[in-house]
Amino acid sequence: MPTYPAEPFRIKVVEPIRSLNRGQRVSALQAAGYNIFGLRSDEVYIDLLTDSGTGAMSDRQWAAMMLGDESYAGARSFYRLKEAVDAIFGFRHFVPAHQGRAAENILAKVLLKPGQFVPSNTHFDTTEGNILDRGGRPVNLTIPEAADASNLHPFKGNMDLAGLEAFIDRVGAENIPLGMMTVTNNSVGGQPVSLENLRQASAIYKRHRIPFFIDACRYAENAYFIKQREPECAQLSVREIARQMFALADGATMSAKKNGIVNMGGFLAMNDDELFQRACNELILREGFPTYGGLAGRDLDAMAVGLWEALDEEYLAYQVGQVGYLAQRLLEMGFPVIQPPGGHAVYIDAGAFLPHIARDEFPGLALAIELYLEGGVRAVEIGSLAFARKDEESGEMVHPLMELVRLAIPRRTYTQAHMDYVAETAGRIAARRKEIHGYRITYEPRLMRHFTARFEPL
């Protein structure tokens, strides 16, 4: 039997959830156009759609919210957040933003010109969307091991360093206004990036004078994996490892909805003074004054506390352990699960699980729909629906590495009995996998189609 450390907290407030019957779920799904984003939360029993902003805040965070200073400029809340961000991340400047994509939007606005390239180990969908929206070209340079779900490489989130060198040589550093790294690498299974890989990528960017920004959403989980798996770091604290990671970069975008354990919040950090000035001007236009950045003072306080809590190593052992537990149970039921499991979610290789469904008929969507119909479990497709797009140069469809379904684990929210329920629901689907069919799109928007597209069964 797989196990993991018992919850390092007890429950003080409860939120009731209930399960619909199968007939009600069928109607709910049809009304949503077969898009699980269109479901009402009341129609879902276990919601593993995302770990973003869905975690449970601590009593200390709720208490801190009462201290929120709602002054327009110079609020105490901002300075408390600044203390935490400075101490953990160590960049010269930062501006709060209401979430990660707002930070990405500002970064893209101040650095990117149409036609320019932005390489990364793998961009997240909102990062990719923000780059595309400014006429830029996102480029993913993931190591080949990441495409093999059963490969046990300890750092499958790594950047393909030779690929990065070759790419810079091919398009020229002058056409790359910034380079990025996503830690952990959400789009290839929440896989960590090693400190060594960050170090080398940073050196390559530096040699070519390309500013290097870390997409830091899950940096604490990444640092925890580094401590577990990179021998030279075994004796360091997660916080010390995080400092070493950020010391390699010129800045970072952060969604505190992940490793800040808040329901809303984020920031953009950087060292460059002039860039900071431009970011502030942009922030004022889009988010708000630089000491609140689209957030209430109380949100800044909750973030200041949550950033520290996410670095607690007992908590990290439990969080990563809970993800590993669900992964192991699904594996035992015959699901091809990405291994080793990442820090925030279990990823099922739906392409391998449903090989009879073509990539453009969305095996990941088909599996996500079955999880809902079978047990009211909401998970999300991270495959061709979310990421396939036409290449501007060749006009060909570029598919992501894999057709995945992600079961994200909200932080400090569900119990082991909930995880068992999810595993048992999935087990019943495994028994009838051959009967599952694909889907066709009946409506899609120009960008980020997976959020609002509608479908019909084939």
Ligand X SMILES: *Cc1c(COP(=O)(O)O)cnc(C)c1O
Binding site for ligand X (CB under 6 A): 52, 99-101, 124, 126-127, 182, 186, 215, 217, 255, 257-258, 266
- If you ran DSSP here, which 8-state letter would residue 407 be given? E
CB closer to ligand X out of 53 and 68: 53
Q: How far is the CB of 120 from ligand X (least distance, A)?
A: 10
Burial of 306 (0-12, 13-18, 19+ CB in 10 A): buried
Q: How far is the CB of 13 from ligand X (least distance, A)?
A: 24
CA distance 281 to 271: 16
Q: Are 380 and 229 in contact (CB under 8 A)?
A: no
CB closer to ligand X out of 69 and 309: 309
Q: How far is the CB of 183 from ligand X (least distance, A)?
A: 8
CB closer to ligand X out of 85 and 423: 85
Residue closest to ligand X when measured from CB atoms: 100
CB closer to ligand X out of 220 and 426: 220
- Three-state DSSP state, 357: coil
Other CB atoms within 10 A of residue 202 CB: 19
CA angle 9, 11, 13 (to 5 degrees): 140
CB closer to ligand X out of 215 and 403: 215
CB closer to ligand X out of 228 and 263: 263
CA distance 437 to 8: 42
Q: How far is the CB of 221 from ligand X (least distance, A)?
A: 11
Q: How far is the CB of 19 from ligand X (least distance, A)?
A: 28
Q: Are 407 and 379 in contact (CB under 8 A)?
A: yes
Torsion, Cα of 97, 99, 105, 110 (10° steps): 30
Q: How far is the CB of 264 from ligand X (least distance, A)?
A: 8
* Cα radius of gyration (the chain): 21
CA distance 108 to 131: 6
Q: How far is the CB of 370 from ligand X (least distance, A)?
A: 25
CA distance 103 to 95: 8
